[in-house]
Amino acid sequence: MTSSARWHTAGQWVMAVCWLVCSVTAVSAQEGRWERLTATGVQAFEAGNYAEAVRQFQAALSLADVGSLPTSLMNLAAVYYAQGQYSAAAPLYQRALVLQEQILGPDAPQLVPVLEANAAVHRKMHPVQSLLPWSTASYMAARARRIGEREERGQPPDVPWGTFDPRHLFDNSGAGE
């Protein structure tokens, strides 16, 4: 290989490394920006400045990644809920629930506040229907209670039928023998 070819190859590697470092730095800066926007939105919300809270939370939402997206959705929904804009809050709460279920599973304890928020917004939107035991609000509230009670008792989440549960591999109770 000629020296000019080596320099060309080395130059490509330097460019690739610079691109990688700049990309990581940009992602890190974006995460820091999401956190700052979220914190500013929380402060505005707590001060009752809902217009500013919405602006900050919407900006944070556009920067959210998979891990922070449910939080961004919940924050924005909470502002709409506090303003009585239940039809704007409901789809955000529902989307946060779906994402959390996909990330954590259907019976994770972290779902309790999301389920409770969904139930509350459904009660506001459909006050009479929500009194029925088979309503969406009743279902979500009961599900939140069930998960919370299971967590208090220290029980593991339900495993759907047919789902592989690796805990059975280490079960020394003799069951299944």
More confident residue, 64 or 164: 64
More confident residue, 131 or 64: 64
pLDDT in tens, 1-43: 665 555 554 455 545 444 444 444 445 556 789 999 999 999 9
Q: What is the pLDDT of residue 151?
A: 85
Mean pLDDT of 107-128: 92
Q: How many CB atoms lie within 10 A of CB 150?
A: 15
State how far the alpha carbon of 97 is from the alpha carbons of 70, 90, 110, 153, 155, in Å. Answer: 8, 11, 10, 23, 22
Residue 144 CA to residue 6 CA, distance in Å, equals: 63
Domain ranges of the chain: 1-63, 86-156
Task: Indicate whether 173 pLDDT > 50.
Answer: no
pLDDT in tens, 122-155: 999 998 888 888 888 889 899 999 999 988 888 6
Tokens of 28: 């890190």
Q: Are 55 and 85 in contact (CB under 8 A)?
A: no
Q: Which of 2-6, 83-87, 107-111, 162-166 holds the top average pLDDT? A: 83-87
Taking all residues of the chain, what is their mean pLDDT, rounded to a whole number? 80
More confident residue, 10 or 55: 55
